[in-house]
Amino acid sequence: MATSPTRPADEPGDLATHLMDQALGHLFSAALRTAAHYRIADRLTAGPRTPEQLAAATDTHAPHLRRVLRYLAARGIFREDASGAYQLTPAARQLRTDVPDSLHPAVMMLTDDLFLRTSAGLTEAVRYGGAAFERLFGVPLFAHLESDPAKRELFDDGMASLAAPVDDAVAAVYPFPETGTVIDVGGGRGGLLRAVLRRHPQATGVLFDLAPPLAHHLLDTDDLKGRWRTQEGDFFAAVPEGGDVYVLKHVLHDWSDEDCRRILRSCRTAMAAGRRLLVVDSVLPPGNAPHFGKTMDMAMLALLDGRERNADDFAALLAAGDFRLTRVLPTAGFPSIVEAVAD
């Protein structure tokens, strides 16, 4: 009697249902956005509440809200108890707006039509190359953000939220100098620089970026007084000189190889020989291993003319910029730290 081939251990039993569930993944994004929009997690801080209670507090339709919560609970976002009330799970806690590690702004950014419409354009991007965003909106993402202050604020809020756990992970694992200057190139609102300076109280720092994120930087706190400055500029043209460690966190993945080489040349021009450059990005593993960087790579394909890279890709880019890759350090989050030395 013939036998069926052995299924891989991680392959679901009902492949048709599994595939259809994956095809409807956009509904999970929509349900998650709905919960974030109505701040359901905030309303569960004091304890479980029924959909009727939550609907009354949010001016929503209770039967529909119950169905959305049931769907999210099946995926670990919220939990329904025996009485039919819903409560927070660890994942749902990060949807609260009043916790230090809130991912609420990140969820609102990632589920905005800025992302959803662009993701739907992947088929065209694959046909023609380039970023789906530019084909849909007529201009690159960052140019569009410059013309739309509301979207710029949404983007900067979301990126700061998404970056917060990465900032702490990088500051915890990398041996930054106890003294000297850290220059955060394209550092957004400065969450990473703040985390580094708090762990190294004798160090100083420079936060370098465009004006919109610098206007809402996070460095003006009593414990960091006198140890930092901001500088506005374009990293394609030049970056501040005199640093001991330069950081590019979630910068290179936004750009093509050619543009990355321009950024690296700007950094190298500003750096003395022997100084260190840290590239904080996903470093893609080989083969079929799951990795959040592979999801981020799809976002880069849709939004920008950038991509996530593997260790060999980084080594080649850095060598073209007169840097030598010295090591790759994993962090507790999804990115790694690619360390290079200026030759």
Q: What does the alpha-carbon distance between residue 114 and residue 118 come to, in Å, rounded to a whole number?
A: 6
Q: What does the alpha-carbon distance between residue 320 and residue 192 come to, in Å, rounded to a whole number?
A: 26
Residue 216 is a catalytic residue: no
b (16+ CB within 10 A) / e for 224-261:
beebbebeebebeeebbeebbbbbbbbbbbbbeeeebb
Q: Which of 216, 217, 253, 291 is catalytic?
A: 253
Q: What does the alpha-carbon distance between residue 309 and residue 315 come to, in Å, rounded to a whole number?
A: 10
Q: Residue 211: which residues within 8 A CB-CB, separation 6 or more?
A: 232
Q: What does the alpha-carbon distance between residue 30 and residue 24 come to, in Å, rounded to a whole number?
A: 10
DSSP strand pairing (181-185 vs 204-209)? parallel
- Strand pairing partners for 204? 181
C-alpha R_g of the chain: 22
DSSP output for 3-43: -PPPPPTTS-S-HHHHHHHHHTHHHHHHHHHHHHHTTHHHH
Farthest CA pair distance, the chain: 79
The token pair at 46 is 């004091």
At residue 48, the 3 state secondary structure works out as: coil
Q: What does the alpha-carbon distance between residue 328 and residue 339 come to, in Å, rounded to a whole number?
A: 6
Residue numbers annotated as active site: 253
